[in-house]
């Protein structure tokens, strides 16, 4: 083998190495985490700052990488053909094609891209200085490709950019949690903040039947008893009927008035705010902050009282349940020894769906509403139904309200059972 052949082999090795570099760089910049890279750049990492700067002009960056990759691959193919023809004669071109295809696929494409995918930010920072030089050298070619891209844009109109959707944001949070960037509590808090603006007051209100209130004619002893029994710091005050709530009294104001011998509730009763069920809770929060209020009465379409919402109810949608030393902690989902669950019917229906990983469709906000919709009447103790892959039994009823249900997951049907059920249905029809 003469010196010319040795030089060509060395050049081929260099070109395959460059092909590997361009392939890994393309993958690294395509899959890197911009937030992570920006964090490193803000911490003073110059290579991270350089990589981030180039990533912001991704079209030009990609053109440079593709131009460089094609140049080295075509050059390698040409030199390989000359070398193998020189060594093997007529069989040279065929052998060159086979060998270089395998070599470039393994060492110039698959291997470097797989490695770059594992640590995209690290490889992007490693490749940034050389890539910056290539961006400068290949600027004339990039200019020509920019003009070509503008021509294509005129022919193929780009659809309007819709920005990042809520679903995409939640997916990003899930990915950050999976990769260890966020813990479970942090990701749940961010998800709650994202979904916060879509929730309406009717989804979080305390229903009318659960409102603890006093009449405006009640004496001080009766009000003191209600404060003591309920543990609430504020009580709505109604005139004759709970549909006519006229104010709200604070426990602190009540005890101060009682100490000074005042017995007229109206003298220390505060004004009350009203809203409708379809008000967004984000808007309701701003209203309560502006009015320096803690409670709002929700009215229905007929002007009657539908329920009430407090500042605590709204904040809990962001940070989860808030318990103080006077609250009775109620476990709404109690797992039983047999794998079933005892579920309080005041629980949110979405929590039930999340627990059993099902996608149901129901207009109700609570488990109670879902049960009534499934049964089609006022539930009675012992009622049983199956829905959404669940076997549900009503275990506790208080007058006309269902209080508790027992839920078990139904076993999955076999193909034979599904076929028998389908045949039976066809025979019935």
Structure tokens at 132: 């910056």
DSSP characters for 83-122? Answer: HHHHHHGGGHHHHHHHHHHHHIIIIIIIHHHHHHHHSHHH
- How far does CA 151 lie from the centroid of its chain? 39
**Tokens 């990609």 found at:** 62
Can you give the pLDDT at residue 324? 60
Structure tokens at 192: 């709650």
Can you give the pLDDT at residue 220? 92
pTM: 0.53
| Residue 104 φ then ψ, to 5° | -65, -40
| Domain residue spans of the chain | 3-155, 166-196, 201-319, 333-409
Out of 3.40.50.720, 3.10.580.10, 3.10.310.10, 3.40.50.10420, the CATH code matching 201-319 is 3.10.580.10
The CATH number given to 333-409 is: 3.30.465.10
Alpha helix stretches (DSSP H) within 32-57 = 34-42, 46-56
Can you give the pLDDT at residue 230? 86
Q: Which helix (H) or strand (E) holds 401?
A: strand 401-409
Task: Note the residue count of the chain.
Answer: 429
Can you give the pLDDT at residue 296? 94
Can you give the pLDDT at residue 305? 92
Helix (H, G, I), strand (E, B) or coil at 240: coil
Tell me how far apart the alpha carbons of residues 188 and 174 are, in angstroms, rounded to a whole number: 9
Tell me how far apart the alpha carbons of residues 383 and 368 are, in angstroms, rounded to a whole number: 13
pLDDT mean by block of 10 residues, the chain; 429 residues: 82 90 89 83 87 83 86 90 85 87 89 88 88 84 75 67 68 74 74 78 87 92 91 91 92 91 89 91 90 92 90 83 60 86 85 82 81 87 88 87 88 64 64
Structure tokens at 136: 């400068």
């Amino acid at each position: 083998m003469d010196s010319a052949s040795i030089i060509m082999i060395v050049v081929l090795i260099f070109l395959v190495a460059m092909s590997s570099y361009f392939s890994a760089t393309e993958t690294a910049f395509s899959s890197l985490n911009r937030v992570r890279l920006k964090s490193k750049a803000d911490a003073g990492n110059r290579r991270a700052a350089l990589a981030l700067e180039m990533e912001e002009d991704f079209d030009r960056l990609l053109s440079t990488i593709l131009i460089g990759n094609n140049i080295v691959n075509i050059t390698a193919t040409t030199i390989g053909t000359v070398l193998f023809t020189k060594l093997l004669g007529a069989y040279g071109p065929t052998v060159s094609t086979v060998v270089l295809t395998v070599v470039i696929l393994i060492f110039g494409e698959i291997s470097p891209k797989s490695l770059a995918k594992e640590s995209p930010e690290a490889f992007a920072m490693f490749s940034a200085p050389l890539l910056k030089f290539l961006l400068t050298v290949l600027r004339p070619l990039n200019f020509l490709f920019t003009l070509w891209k503008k021509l294509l844009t005129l022919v193929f109109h780009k659809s309007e950019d819709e920005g990042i959707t809520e679903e995409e944001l939640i997916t990003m949070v899930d990915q950050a949690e999976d990769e260890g960037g966020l813990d479970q509590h942090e990701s749940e808090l961010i998800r709650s903040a994202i979904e916060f603006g879509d929730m309406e007051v009717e989804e979080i209100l305390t229903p009318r039947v659960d409102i603890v209130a006093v009449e405006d004619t009640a004496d001080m002893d009766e009000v003191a008893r209600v404060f003591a029994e309920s543990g609430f710091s504020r009580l709505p005050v109604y005139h004759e009927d709970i549909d006519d709530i006229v104010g709200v009294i604070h426990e602190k104001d009540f005890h101060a008035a009682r100490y000074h011998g005042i017995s007229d509730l109206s003298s220390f009763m505060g004004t009350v705010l009203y809203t409708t069920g379809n008000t967004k809770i984000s808007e309701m929060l701003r209203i309560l902050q502006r009015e320096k209020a803690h409670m709002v009465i929700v009215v229905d379409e007929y002007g009657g009282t539908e329920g009430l919402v407090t500042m605590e109810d709204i904040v809990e949608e962001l940070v989860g349940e808030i318990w103080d030393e006077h609250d009775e902690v109620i476990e709404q989902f109690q797992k039983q020894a047999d794998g079933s669950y005892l579920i309080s019917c005041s629980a949110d229906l979405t929590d039930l769906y999340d627990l059993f990983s099902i996608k149901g469709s129901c207009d109700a906000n609570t488990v109670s509403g879902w049960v009534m919709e499934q049964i089609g009447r006022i539930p009675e103790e012992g009622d049983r139904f199956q829905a959404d892959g669940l076997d549900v039994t009503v275990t506790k009823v208080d007058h006309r309200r269902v209080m508790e249900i027992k839920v078990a997951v139904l076993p999955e049907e076999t193909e034979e059972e599904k076929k028998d059920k389908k045949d039976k249905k066809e025979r019935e029809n």
